[in-house]
Chains A and B, each alone.
Chain A
Amino acid sequence: NAGVTQTPKFRVLKTGQSMTLLCAQDMNHEYMYWYRQDPGMGLRLIHYSVGEGTTAKGEVPDGYNVSRLKKQNFLLGLESAAPSQTSVYFCASSYSGDNYGYTFGSGTRLTVV
């Protein structure tokens, strides 16, 4: 039982390059989330999805896009990376949107130079 798997684990991008982060969960969870974690800022929600085919903006959505074409996968895209997007990105999933907590992946460390 893998839980939530994020790929890649590490990546270095040049400013202006694009990339996609993949999150996959095998728990049949409806809800999925993308967070970024920065020193002193805690975890901030970028985008989330309440089911296959749905997406919604979180607290810090600018510069990111997402897609949820399959229930088990949630993709986070950076179209034109900027140094301000250097961060650790975490994907999470939950059975429902409330009360039971989230299961997190192990993170993707992204550096934009």
Chain B
Amino acid sequence: QKEVEQDPGPLSVPEGAIVSLNCTYSNSAFQYFMWYRQYSRKGPELLMYTYSSGNKEDGRFTAQVDKSSKYISLFIRDSQPSDSATYLCAINTDKLIFGTGTRLQVFP
């Protein structure tokens, strides 16, 4: 079993939609969870990080961790075409372990 599993998509939504991106992980000891955004032909950039369980909000983005089900989510409200990118979840042990990424396309 992979340590982090992520649906590769692609996910295509209309502008203004609420987007839900998800990952599952295998080790209940993981504490630090991150989301990276990667535009085409660019390096990943840190979008959000959370510690342990709960929610964290930053503008239109909300990161959620459910440690009981080992599930992490990223919600994007009022999605924009500029949100079109690949989103990678990551878990920090002593190094980052990445999911495979979900490609999101927001069309006008």
Contacts and interface: CB of A to CB of B under 8 A. Distances in A.
Interface stretch (A14-22, A68-76, A79-87, A102-110): A102-110
Contacts of B42: 106-107
Contacts of B12: none
Interface residues on A, range: 20 to 34
Contacts, number: 50
A62 interface: no
B98 to A, nearest CB: 4
A7 B36 CA distance: 23
Given A42-B88, A43-B88, A43-B98, A106 B34 contact: no
B41 A107 contact: yes
B94 interface: yes
7 contacts: A42-B88, A45-B96, A90-B43, A97-B94, A98-B32, A100-B49, A104-B43
